[in-house]
Amino acid sequence: MVPSLRERVVEGSEEEILDAAHSIQKGVDAARADDTKNLKVVVLRWITPPGQALQPPLYPDQKRTRGFKHPRTGELLCPVEYDWKDPEIRRQLKEDLLVPSGDSWPILLYADFVYDPDDPWKGLFRSSLLVKAFKHIFTSPSSANEYRNDDKSVPKSGNARIHGMMEVTRASIAYVAMQLRFSLCTANMFSRNDKLTDSGRFYDSIMELLEDEDEQAEVEELLEWWNGQVFPGWSRIAVRKPASENSPLAKIRKARALKKAAEAQAIAAGETTVIPAAPKVYVIDDSDVE
């Protein structure tokens, strides 16, 4: 957090505002770097089948053997429009003869890693891998091991709780998807402008869908599902119904609005109210009276 941020932005000079913006961006970059560094380690545990080992092995401190060079990471990164089981497709992806753009979404975004071309919304952004990555970043690393929390097991700390994040947002889903995809790639340095991973376009394309006015019915259902996965207790507290018309708050606001309207109407009609001056008070000094 930046001390006195509001004062620096609202009341500060141009130099102070730029300094505040620099401090915020510095914090954002540091947080993103931490997320990138941590995910590239834990993701290997998540993608390893229980009781088995990845073949060939992958190492936490190395990324050059990931991506389409490895059968497991390649399978998860493979865009849904391609068939990873096709040897020719695998070869072209591995040799960078076929370079997917950022808006060619990988199968890792789908529940159970299954894509239905006749219903592309089915399971989209609902993979257990994506949920684990979200919890690792926004709640706590330990919560990532639980696919579904109950009210008693919701962590009381973590980035989300500390910063008042009470529900899953569109941008947070896109951010985690971008970080998860990058953790499986061969690239070491994160950059939105990297043309090989095309992370910037990947993030933007997800946001385009999630903010599309025509898709909001599906998006709202998706957000409700996510809140049930990540913040089942908090989301019920954060999302409240507005006050009813008969509540004290609603009646006070209504009375205030009517009073303001009446005053405005009176002023417009020239019926201004003259407030009498306070009466003068004379003080007699008894010492002067004989």
pLDDT bracket for residue 172 (50, 70, 90): very high
Note the pLDDT of residue 4: 60
pLDDT at 123 over 80: yes
Greater model confidence, 37 or 92: 92
Tell me if 182 sits within 8 A of 36, measured CB to CB.
Answer: yes
> What backbone phi and psi angles, to 5 degrees, belong to 218?
-70, -35
pLDDT bracket for residue 152 (50, 70, 90): very low
Domains in the chain: how many in total? 1
Which three-class secondary structure state does DSSP give residue 122? coil
Boundaries of domain holding 80: 33-238
Residue type, 95: E
Note the pLDDT of residue 153: 45
Residue 2 lies in a domain: no
% of residues, the chain, pLDDT over 90: 51
H or E segment and range at residue 194:
none
pLDDT bracket for residue 248 (50, 70, 90): confident
What is the distance between the alpha carbons of residues 96 and 82, in angstroms, rounded to a whole number? 14
pLDDT at 214 over 60: yes
pLDDT at 150 over 50: no
pLDDT at 283 over 70: no
Mean pLDDT score of the chain, rounded to an integer?
80
Residue 260 lies in a domain: no
> What backbone phi and psi angles, to 5 degrees, belong to 79?
-60, 145
Note the pLDDT of residue 159: 59
Any residues with CB less than 8 A from the CB of 199 and at least 6 apart, and which? 102, 178, 181, 182, 190, 191, 192
Going by C-alpha positions, the residue among 138, 143, 212, 204 that lies closest to residue 172 is: 138
Mean pLDDT is lowest, of 46-50, 116-120, 248-252, for 248-252
**126-145 pLDDT, tens digit each:** 999 999 999 999 986 555 46
Residue 26 lies in a domain: no
Which three-class secondary structure state does DSSP give residue 221? helix
Residue 258 lies in a domain: no
Tell me if 229 sits within 8 A of 131, measured CB to CB.
Answer: yes
> What backbone phi and psi angles, to 5 degrees, belong to 74?
-65, -40
Global pTM reads: 0.70
Residue 95 lies in a domain: yes
What is the distance between the alpha carbons of residues 128 and 123, in angstroms, rounded to a whole number? 10
Instruction: Record the tokens describing residue 76, joined without a space.
Output: 């998860």
Mean pLDDT of all residues in 146-167:
54
Note the pLDDT of residue 155: 47
Residue 28 lies in a domain: no
**39-49 pLDDT, tens digit each:** 999 999 999 99
Residue 285 lies in a domain: no
Note the pLDDT of residue 263: 87
What is the distance between the alpha carbons of residues 210 and 15, in angstroms, rounded to a whole number? 36
Residue 276 lies in a domain: no
Note the pLDDT of residue 18: 58
